[in-house]
């Protein structure tokens, strides 16, 4: 992955090559963070990863897990970033 864009509140990664998930090749992962009410909001997109890809359901479940872990870490100081399958 290469950092395609880096600015306050936003980072974009360009996936040049992903050996274990070749469907990711050429996609872009975007994180945006900003104020929301009295707290903070994190918006996430994986542009180019679509339901037509064979890996979509597995990738969706993985991103859901890791982002929930990130929220837990931010709120409580403890996340669950790794799980054995």
Compare 83 and 2 and report the one with higher pLDDT: 2
- What homologous superfamily is domain 2-76 in, according to CATH? START domain (3.30.530.20)
* DSSP for residue 78: -
Q: What is the pLDDT of residues 34-82, one digit of tens each?
A: 999 998 899 999 999 999 999 999 999 999 999 999 989 989 999 998 7
């Amino acid at each position: 992955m290469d950092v395609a864009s880096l600015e306050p509140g936003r980072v974009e990664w360009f996936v040049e090559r992903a050996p274990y998930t070749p469907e990711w090749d050429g996609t872009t992962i975007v994180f945006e963070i900003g104020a929301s009410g009295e707290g903070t909001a994190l918006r996430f997109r994986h542009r180019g990863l679509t339901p037509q890809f064979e890996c979509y359901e597995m990738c969706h479940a993985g991103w859901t897990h890791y982002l929930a872990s990130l929220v837990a870490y931010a709120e409580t100081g403890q996340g669950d970033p790794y799980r054995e399958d």
